[in-house]
Amino acid sequence: MIFCVEDDEAASNIAAYALETAGFQVRVFANGKDFFEALRTEKPELILLDIMLPGEDGISILKKIRAGQGTKNIPVIMTTAKGTEFDKVNGLDLGADDYLVKPFGMLEMVSRVRAVLRRVPAGEEEQEILHIGSVELNEAAHIVTESGRKLELTLKEYSLLELFMKNPDRVFDRETLLMKIWNSDYSGDTRTVDVHVGTLRAKLGKAGEMIQTVRGVGYKLVTE
């Protein structure tokens, strides 16, 4: 089931038709109120979320999705007429999994939906508690602590830290990080990686020094 939150009736009808033709079930909501009411009784596989909505906007809705215990791991693709780099980074930094700028083709939309769902398989079980230095990452609970202090990370920040902690001392170039964290369909540039690594370091405090820049290449998490 895919939830589509879009106030433009024509756009939502076309999107729903394209997704249903591709084999997905779809429910459409014109505002955040109706969406959250449905979310109480049904959890979708993915959410298509427009930024410009009447009443509560998509950014506010995304924050609530990521803050909810039962919804924080649901993949979200943002859709909007805005197309500046700031808008993209803002949505991705808050935990969106991908970003579509209107007008976009229906085949592209279906392709992006499938790509995100491939990266977040339904029912995938998290297994480990990772420890490096003062940082602990609990995959089952999706919680990160530093010296016992719980950190509020966005989905992308969490995914970056998880990748680094599972591959200590390995150097990742920015293109690889884009492919692994944002998927190969993401159309942004490597500055997005730098922005997210910077905010992750800041939230980790002193422990953020473990994430080192490898000049001319990318980043690695050092254990010594």
Contact 48, 16 (CB under 8 A): no
For the chain, list residues with pLDDT below 50: 123-127
Please tell me whether the overall predicted TM-score, pTM, comes out greater than 0.85 for this model. Answer: no
| Residues 103-130 pLDDT 10s | 889 999 999 999 988 876 554 444 468 8
Round to whole Å and give the CA distance between 197 and 60: 23
Both tokens assigned to 61: 């809705």
- The pLDDT value given to residue 126: 44
Question: 183 phi and psi, to 5 degrees?
Answer: 75, 160
- The pLDDT value given to residue 70: 79
- The pLDDT value given to residue 119: 76
Q: Could you tell me how many residues make up the chain? A: 224
| Residues 172-208 pLDDT 10s | 999 889 888 876 555 556 788 999 999 999 999 999 9
- The pLDDT value given to residue 139: 83
- The pLDDT value given to residue 124: 46
- The pLDDT value given to residue 18: 95
- The pLDDT value given to residue 221: 95
Question: 48 phi and psi, to 5 degrees?
Answer: -95, 120
Classify each residue of 195-212 as buried b or exposed e, where b means 16 or more C-beta atoms within 10 Å of its C-beta. bbbebbbebbeebbebbe
Round to whole Å and give the CA distance between 34 and 199: 33
- The pLDDT value given to residue 83: 58
